Structure 1
Amino acid sequence: MPDHGGMADSYVRVRGAREHNLRTIDVDIPRDALVAFTGVSGSGKSSLAFGTLYAEAQRRYFESVAPYARRLIHQVGAPKVEDITGLPPAVALEQRRSAPTSRSSVGTVTTLSNTLRMLFSRAGDYPDGATGRLDSDAFSPNTAAGACPECHGLGTVHQVTEDSLVPDPSRSVREGAVAAWPGAWQGKNLRDILAALGHDIDRPWRDLPQADRDWILFTDEQPVVTVHPVREAGRIQRPYKGQYMSARRYVLHTFADSKSDTLRTRVRGFMTAQPCPVCAGRRLRPEALAVTFAGRDIATLAGLPLGALADVLRPTAARPDDEPAPALARDLVARIEVLTELGLGYLSMDRPAPTLSAGELQRLRLATQLRSGLFGVVYVLDEPSAGLHPADTESLLTVLHRLKEAGNSLFVVEHDMDVVRRADWIVDIGPRAGEHGGRVLHSGPVEGLADVTGSATRRFLFAAEPPADRTPRTPTGALSLHGVTLHNLRGLDAVFPLGVFTAVTGVSGSGKTTLVTRVLAEAVRDHLGEARSDTGEDAGAGPTARAQLTAAEGLDAVDRLVRVDQRPIGRTPRSNLATYTGLFDAVRKVFAATDAARARGYTAGRFSFNVAAGRCETCQGEGFVAVELLFLPGTYAPCTDCHGARYNPETLQITYRDRTIADVLAMTVDDAAAFLADLPSAARSLRTLQDVGLGYLRLGQPATELSGGEAQRIKLAAELQRARRGHTLYLLDEPTTGLHPADTEVLLRQLHGLVDAGHTVVVVEHDMGVAAGADHVIDLGPGGGAEGGRIVAAGTPAEVAAAPGSRTAPYLARRRARPKPS
């Protein structure tokens, strides 16, 4: 270990760390510094920063709580490390998305809404005749005291109309006029029940009496009817008793109670969401909406961009402290200014949390920490620059240095080389991923990494040769959208060249994701006749507005749409890489074909951890059990019976080439590719996973452990292994999130390969290296929120780099001029 000149007390000293793939490492890390943890994806940097340092700080905190509470959390476990000294208390800000509901918002995540409600309660202007001041809870749509009684605080009401339930009134009931009923058993049974009740099921719907149509669609009655035998298709149908359910009742019941996202999406198509007629979409009771501040009700203020809200509050904040309003207003303004520094001024307090990216959520939490007044702690951050335009990254670095100057340490897992260059210290882990990583290649000042030839990070920090200009491909056509209106896009015209690689750039909140993953995706999906599904941006936030277009051209050239996003591939440990890609089916069949399995009568189903016969019943085949913690988020701990193997002992007695099914799930993709090389269907899936840089992941790695970037690349790999016909449009939202620059190179080779094969790729991206290597760039802005929504530049990377008025241009020009990694 290095000699720190008698300053060992200012270092966190780690000895014998072996969490995950760490190879019993020793490392000293300075406190009161900005320390960057770098390395390729899967090298072990997160295992050191989060799995070891933060986990040990958390364990020490848990040991300080009352014995009763410790009994509830003892299963969380301690990191695998011999000793850590000099470790202060730690706060983790991870990229992992929490589970926000549609009622969670920017205001609730930051607690800004609490202060705003207090401002209205204590200093609001009440209408004449008001009997007294309302409690702050009366201004919250999430409480019984404040929620609108009609929509229960949701702001929207769902309606089911005859037009939505019966799209083709020329059909009869027998022919499926009531489209909301499933076409299988329920539609047939309800048809027979209607016939038994005396309704004409062979007459065109539009010719039925209105009273009959209304009863069939909207009645709340649920009669039980005996359907007598009838001859149908040469057979006599058995008599049965069936209960009738109107189409509206069926749709609303299914939407409210179904656990299937697919089914919920289907029935949503038969519903119309409209602003609540009582609160006009503002979610609050009339008494609360009657109170104003600065001439506006609380719903109006909560709907303003944060920057505009601060402007409204500043005159009040400047008044003397002879009343509650100035102090509350000053607190709001100060906290909003931090959010604006982090590039989040375009958000409004009522923006639903499910619509935020993981990067936006992390920055909201970071801003909250900056105002917390804590000092002497270690902040462990997971890629704080994720989702940030280079211009916003500058502001992020300013905020991080302010946290450091307040007496804190910052341990940052980071792939953005611009952030790494500004660090005080770098811990580079590698040299590669998985079992080929886990070693400390360098721990010291950033410039010292220049001498470490085995580091994958080194060549991106210290490039040696100028880049060669790449000749952009010639488009094969164009897909044009005219008059786009949605969110901050107002009458926008956009042209996406076909047969090329297009990068859509712009500062956070400029409208990139809305344009690509909402508008473009919806237009192509509608043209192809595909059912609309949640697009991800508003998943969990209720029904969403559709984009308005005046025209769309060039859609005939697209035969297929593939959207690859960063939503999880599953929400519990039961979902994993092997099951999502389908390669596990082939593995289970191989085990079922062994002599030992056949002798016992085991089928492939026995080797599924979702089937009772073969799984461990303690954890139900998950390998983990949920641990509920008082006052803390729940977590998962390894099953105490199977120890994470997922299967019962009898199933684990079956081996294939001396390995159990649990052993195969524990293999990395790279190891499995060698072990299953003679199994064509599995080998193909494994090759594509390696091609997108995921060779370090374990086959059975739970979905809950995967980053958004890893989930996106798994989806891309699953797509790449399929046969591709016709012209496919691929849409990706920030595909390089969570990727080391070396891994980004691997991913880009795959994406450019798709274009070379005749397809079109459109990516929303902040990485200037991706934009510099694209054929075409569309830059939105110039700012975020209301200041964005316009195309400020479009053309080749060279043309956009020279465009005046573009905030992307100087960073793109700098990236094109930067020496190329050697």
Structure 2
Amino acid sequence: MAKQSPRESSPDQPTSMIQLRGIRVHNLKSIDLDLPLNQLTVICGVSGSGKTSLAFDTLYAEGQRRYIETLSTSARQHLNQLPKPDADHIDHIPPAIALKQNTRKHSTAKGIEPTVATESGIHHYLRLLYTSLGEISCPDCQLPVTPQSPESVFAFIKTLPANTRYQISFPITKTEERSTAEVIEDLTREGLTRVIINHETVNLSDSFTHVDEEWDDFLVVLDRLNTKNLDEQRVLDSLEIAFQESSGLATILVEQTELVQSDIGLPFIIDQKTWFRFDFSTELICPQCRKQFIFPEPQLFNFYSPAGACPLCQGSGVVSDPQANPKTTKICSACNGSRLNESALAVHVQNYHLDQLCQRPILELVDWFQNLSQGTSAPIQQRLSPIFREIKDRLALLNELGVSYLTLNRSVRTLSGGESQRITLASVLSSSLVNTLYVLDEPSSGLHPADNDRVISVLHKLRDLKNTVVVVEHDAEFIRTADHIVELGPAAGKAGGKVVFEGRYKKLIATTATPTSNFLNAPSIKTLKSAPRNEASQWLTLHDVTQNNLKNLTVSFPLGQLSVVTGISGSGKSSLIEQTLFPVLSDLMTETTTAETFSFCESTTGVEQIDEVILLDQALVGQTSRSIPATYLNLFDDIRAVFAQTADAKLRNLSPKHFSFNSKNGGRCHECKGTGLIDIDLQFLGDLTMVCQECHGKRYQRELLEIKYRKLNIAEVLALTVDEAFPFFRGQAALQKKLKQLKDVGLGYLPLGQPVSSLSGGECQRLKLAAYLTTTSRNKTLFLMNEPTCGLHPLDVKHVLNCFEHLLSAGHSFIVIEHNLQVVSNADHIIDLGPGAGEQGGSIVVTGTPSEVALHPTSYTGIALKHLTTAN
């Protein structure tokens, strides 16, 4: 079969369709759709048009619900019935898997940060591999530690020189339950007559009745033999008895001669003569230092489990540094940052313990695992082939997605947005399922235009495995390569929710009736920006930055301008801005330290020219599901005050606090405690969330919902989008001012009561930005942002650019990490990092205006900008 180009779509006609009829989820206007099975469908449209409602709240929700219905009655009895999407009927929908774009993952509930290995699913198979193939060696003695058996001890005896005397014995452990006399009596009863007590041989058959109760060493001799004539069955029988009588212990005593010299055996005096003592155990005990280890099992290599986690750092790899301050951490001295305990680190495969293996780049591991699987014996290959296959397939997928420079133990927190997105993508796509519905939310998020083809190629391969792939996307490349396109709109919120286009790409660009077609048919930019908005008289400079992969960079940022940091994913953008510039400036501006204390940045200049620095990152702005946009901007306080002033509220003596769903003494629903949702533990599946059956998701008790302002109750007001709420609150100047801030950052489509935890990273940043739009009194503020256009339709990006213009005009400065070419082409100053990712990145490729960067022959950003002037 000929290999298909990532830019080609499948010519095959679908054999059947997912039939959607009368879909009324959220703002969808009873739409009818037929989505082709086994093809790649892109759902596009302006922000808030209903794409997520269709893709996730309808397709994925119904696919998941029907899968649960196929489970046995005994399994389903533990699960609550999932609600059906509001629709007339949905037919031919396969089981569904989802990847929803949101903020980056940080620490777990236990404070243990996930890694590339855990997020990609590789770590699970590595634990199985180390359980099956791992060999234990004592970290102190560097000796192999293996469980012994009569056969293995006999093999050792055969290695002794000829004509060597040896004794087979087993140790007696002193206990409080039995006296020495009782021990001897038991031995005599069993017919055992010779023991070695305190290094002296004693014959129990010589009417021996008493021995000193105090003894340090007690060995029972089973047989005294010579290697001159090895009677295998006699030796094995004696060893079998030794292991049985001492709960898995056996001791071989070898007489010292000129031919017998040992670095392993311990010198042992018997009757004033020197012997060598060799102790064997069916447990994992070092033969020299007697340290005991744990038999390998998967949980031993899991740093989330007490069985595998380092006892000092509890699996986090770091401990607090009280000498600095309580919040400062340092590498754990017990595990050296590996997170695992000593027993786990004693297990090696090909001389690597698990953490050492995970320190190697993914690209190196591809060949390493190939050689490992080929070097094992045929029976082992057959037994472990599923494990080898899963590991190699996942590594190959990560390599194909362009993150082969990462190491498996890299913390997800330190990844860029594009890197994090592709790791999560690899986890979802590596399941090798067929006849499955995959629903993905903006797989282009965080990707440089040069990286798009990698992800598109993987999605096409997934489709070619007879899977149905549905993608919510704004990126033109993804739309161009789709088999089927659905555009929702024409606008956001209640003005959206309709199917404004359905068909192939050629049909889409042949029309000018939709926002996406207008964008795709927009004329190319004739000339790129060649001069900044103003000449920069002040600059902020970092000197000799070495954070992560940055190679002794000295970088200057113009103040009072829009600076955009570009480069492919992994080139060092987040390392420069989020992990270097922000912490250095924060510490300098609080006057707690100097830049010289940072090992990754030698010095800074120009800091005195700004008054404060603010990082508007993609972290969730709300800590719980109770947080909503209205509470973040204090809009909710004004809304509750408006309701408290109504005649009905005054008649019932209701104050603003009664309209809070966060207050125990307010009018919130008692069942869901004001969240509107009930969390369901699905036991063996991931947790699910259902709408509260008591309040039907409205968050409030019935009495509170009877209070209305302009014919709407408090729950109905929270369901309004920002655009809808603005005219609704006419006459409320303070409310409208805050709503205008949200409209200005492109969040007009956002419902006032949507949980903040469901917002994308870009929406979180714009929500934070809205709070600063009226802060013109703040002088010389430096705003730092990472991909603020994430989740925005190209026609909505202009809102973000207008916000930048407003704050720049007030004397502030912006440094933005961005891949979106609309933002990049509007930059006053571009700093392009690269040329590649990982170790191949970390250098400055080119700096300057968009027109200057476009002239650079090897800059990926320059090539993309140049393409803007020639497209269409």
Say whether the fold is shared (TM-score over 0.5): yes
Cα separation, 2, equivalents of 1:292 and 1:52: 48
Q: Deviation at 1:512?
A: 0.5
Cα separation, 1, equivalents of 2:438 and 2:759: 21
Q: Does 1:344 align with 2:403?
A: yes
* Counterpart for residue 445 of structure 1: 504
* Counterpart for residue 729 of structure 2: 676
Q: Are the structure 2 counterparts of residues 443 and 782 from structure 1 closer, same or farther at C-alpha, using a change threshold of 3 Å?
A: same
* Counterpart for residue 796 of structure 2: 743
* Counterpart for residue 516 of structure 2: 457
Output aligned runs, 1:345-364, within 5 Å.
Answer: 345-356=404-415, 360-364=419-423
Cα separation, 1, equivalents of 2:668 and 2:474: 39
* Counterpart for residue 114 of structure 1: 124
Query: Contact 2:421–2:446 (CA<8 Å) still a contact in 1?
Result: no
Give the secondary structure class of the aligned counterpart of 1:817: coil
* Counterpart for residue 158 of structure 1: 320
Q: Deviation at 1:818?
A: 2.9
Give me the identity figure in percent.
42
Q: Are the structure 2 counterparts of residues 595 and 88 from structure 1 closer, same or farther at C-alpha, using a change threshold of 3 Å?
A: closer
Q: Deviation at 1:77?
A: 0.7
Output aligned runs, 1:239-258, within 5 Å.
Answer: none
Question: 2:27 aligned to 18, 21, 26, which one?
Answer: 21
Cα separation, 1, equivalents of 2:812 and 2:474: 29
* Counterpart for residue 221 of structure 2: none
- One-letter identity of the residue aligned with 1:733: N
Q: Between 340-349 and 135-144, report the one with greater CA deviation.
A: 135-144
Output aligned runs, 1:300-315, within 5 Å.
Answer: 300-315=356-371
Output aligned runs, 1:40-55, within 5 Å.
Answer: 40-55=46-61
Q: Deviation at 1:396?
A: 0.8
* Counterpart for residue 437 of structure 2: 378
Q: Deviation at 1:331?
A: 4.9
Output aligned runs, 1:227-266, within 5 Å.
Answer: none
* Counterpart for residue 131 of structure 1: 146
Q: Does 1:289 align with 2:345?
A: yes
Cα separation, 1, equivalents of 2:599 and 2:838: 17
- CA offsets 1:102-121 (integer angstroms, 9 cap, x no match): 25322122231233334444
Q: Does 1:485 align with 2:495?
A: no
Cα separation, 1, equivalents of 2:673 and 2:613: 37
Q: RMSD in angstroms over aligned alpha carbons? A: 2.7
* Counterpart for residue 472 of structure 2: 413
- One-letter identity of the residue aligned with 1:577: P
Q: Deviation at 1:746?
A: 1.8
Query: Contact 1:378–1:411 (CA<8 Å) still a contact in 2?
Result: yes
**TM-score of the pair, normalised by structure 2:** 0.75
Query: Contact 1:525–1:561 (CA<8 Å) still a contact in 2?
Result: yes
Query: Contact 1:503–1:776 (CA<8 Å) still a contact in 2?
Result: yes
Q: Deviation at 1:370?
A: 4.2
Query: Contact 1:93–1:381 (CA<8 Å) still a contact in 2?
Result: yes
Question: 2:532 aligned to 442, 467, 472, which one?
Answer: 472
Q: Does 1:144 align with 2:306?
A: yes
Q: Deviation at 1:817?
A: 3.2
Q: Deviation at 1:355?
A: 4.4
Q: Deviation at 1:419?
A: 1.2
* Counterpart for residue 32 of structure 1: 38
* Counterpart for residue 812 of structure 1: 865
Query: Contact 1:38–1:413 (CA<8 Å) still a contact in 2?
Result: yes
Cα separation, 2, equivalents of 1:562 and 1:618: 39
Query: Contact 1:621–1:647 (CA<8 Å) still a contact in 2?
Result: yes
Structure 2 unaligned residues grouped into runs of 5+: 1-11, 138-142, 148-294
Query: Contact 1:623–1:643 (CA<8 Å) still a contact in 2?
Result: yes
Q: Are the structure 2 counterparts of residues 293 and 628 from structure 1 closer, same or farther at C-alpha, using a change threshold of 3 Å?
A: closer
Cα separation, 1, equivalents of 2:777 and 2:370: 57
Cα separation, 2, equivalents of 1:356 and 1:72: 38
Q: Are the structure 2 counterparts of residues 621 and 559 from structure 1 closer, same or farther at C-alpha, using a change threshold of 3 Å?
A: same
- CA offsets 1:421-462 (integer angstroms, 9 cap, x no match): 111211111111111111111111111113433311012222
- CA offsets 1:765-792 (integer angstroms, 9 cap, x no match): 1112221221111111122222222112
Give the secondary structure class of the aligned counterpart of 2:326: coil
Query: Contact 2:746–2:799 (CA<8 Å) still a contact in 1?
Result: yes
Q: Does 1:434 align with 2:493?
A: yes
Q: Are the structure 2 counterparts of residues 531 and 610 from structure 1 closer, same or farther at C-alpha, using a change threshold of 3 Å?
A: farther
Question: 2:661 aligned to 580, 586, 609, which one?
Answer: 609
Output aligned runs, 1:510-521, within 5 Å.
Answer: 510-521=571-582
Output aligned runs, 1:519-598, within 5 Å.
Answer: 519-529=580-590, 548-598=600-650
* Counterpart for residue 389 of structure 1: 448
- CA offsets 1:184-239 (integer angstroms, 9 cap, x no match): xxxxxxxxxxxxxxxxxxxxxxxxxxxxxxxxxxxxxxxxxxxxxxxxxxxxxxxx
Query: Contact 1:11–1:31 (CA<8 Å) still a contact in 2?
Result: yes
Greater fraction helix = 1
Q: Deviation at 1:529?
A: 0.8
Output aligned runs, 1:645-656, within 5 Å.
Answer: 645-656=698-709
- One-letter identity of the residue aligned with 1:580: Y
Q: Are the structure 2 counterparts of residues 722 and 617 from structure 1 closer, same or farther at C-alpha, using a change threshold of 3 Å?
A: farther
Cα separation, 2, equivalents of 1:804 and 1:451: 34
Question: 1:732 aligned to 779, 785, 790, which one?
Answer: 785
* Counterpart for residue 273 of structure 2: none
Q: Deviation at 1:88?
A: 2.4
- CA offsets 1:604-663 (integer angstroms, 9 cap, x no match): 222222222322222222222222222222233222222222222333333333332222
Q: Are the structure 2 counterparts of residues 809 and 318 from structure 1 closer, same or farther at C-alpha, using a change threshold of 3 Å?
A: farther
Give the secondary structure class of the aligned counterpart of 1:550: strand
Query: Contact 1:769–1:815 (CA<8 Å) still a contact in 2?
Result: no
- CA offsets 1:308-352 (integer angstroms, 9 cap, x no match): 333444433454753647956665344212102112223321223
* Counterpart for residue 270 of structure 2: none
Cα separation, 2, equivalents of 1:694 and 1:531: 37
Query: Contact 2:680–2:690 (CA<8 Å) still a contact in 1?
Result: yes
Q: Are the structure 2 counterparts of residues 617 and 99 from structure 1 closer, same or farther at C-alpha, using a change threshold of 3 Å?
A: farther
Query: Contact 1:609–1:615 (CA<8 Å) still a contact in 2?
Result: yes
Q: Are the structure 2 counterparts of residues 117 and 695 from structure 1 closer, same or farther at C-alpha, using a change threshold of 3 Å?
A: same
Q: Are the structure 2 counterparts of residues 75 and 665 from structure 1 closer, same or farther at C-alpha, using a change threshold of 3 Å?
A: farther
Output aligned runs, 1:196-275, within 5 Å.
Answer: 269-275=325-331
Give the secondary structure class of the aligned counterpart of 1:751: helix
Q: Does 1:629 align with 2:688?
A: no
Query: Contact 1:397–1:419 (CA<8 Å) still a contact in 2?
Result: yes
Q: Are the structure 2 counterparts of residues 510 and 96 from structure 1 closer, same or farther at C-alpha, using a change threshold of 3 Å?
A: same
Query: Contact 2:644–2:650 (CA<8 Å) still a contact in 1?
Result: yes
Cα separation, 2, equivalents of 1:304 and 1:105: 13
Q: Are the structure 2 counterparts of residues 7 and 347 from structure 1 closer, same or farther at C-alpha, using a change threshold of 3 Å?
A: closer
**TM-score of the pair, normalised by structure 1:** 0.80
Cα separation, 1, equivalents of 2:458 and 2:14: 28
Query: Contact 1:477–1:554 (CA<8 Å) still a contact in 2?
Result: yes
Give the secondary structure class of the aligned counterpart of 2:860: coil
Query: Contact 1:610–1:621 (CA<8 Å) still a contact in 2?
Result: yes
Output aligned runs, 1:63-82, within 5 Å.
Answer: 63-82=69-88
Query: Contact 1:441–1:452 (CA<8 Å) still a contact in 2?
Result: no
Q: Are the structure 2 counterparts of residues 642 and 392 from structure 1 closer, same or farther at C-alpha, using a change threshold of 3 Å?
A: same
Give the secondary structure class of the aligned counterpart of 1:270: strand
- One-letter identity of the residue aligned with 2:568: V
Question: 1:12 aligned to 18, 42, 58, which one?
Answer: 18
Q: Mark the structure with the bigger radius of gyration.
A: 2
Query: Contact 2:532–2:828 (CA<8 Å) still a contact in 1?
Result: yes
Q: Between 323-332 and 370-379, report the one with greater CA deviation.
A: 323-332
Q: Does 1:507 align with 2:568?
A: yes
Q: Deviation at 1:469?
A: 3.3
Q: Deviation at 1:136?
A: 4.1
Query: Contact 1:584–1:682 (CA<8 Å) still a contact in 2?
Result: no
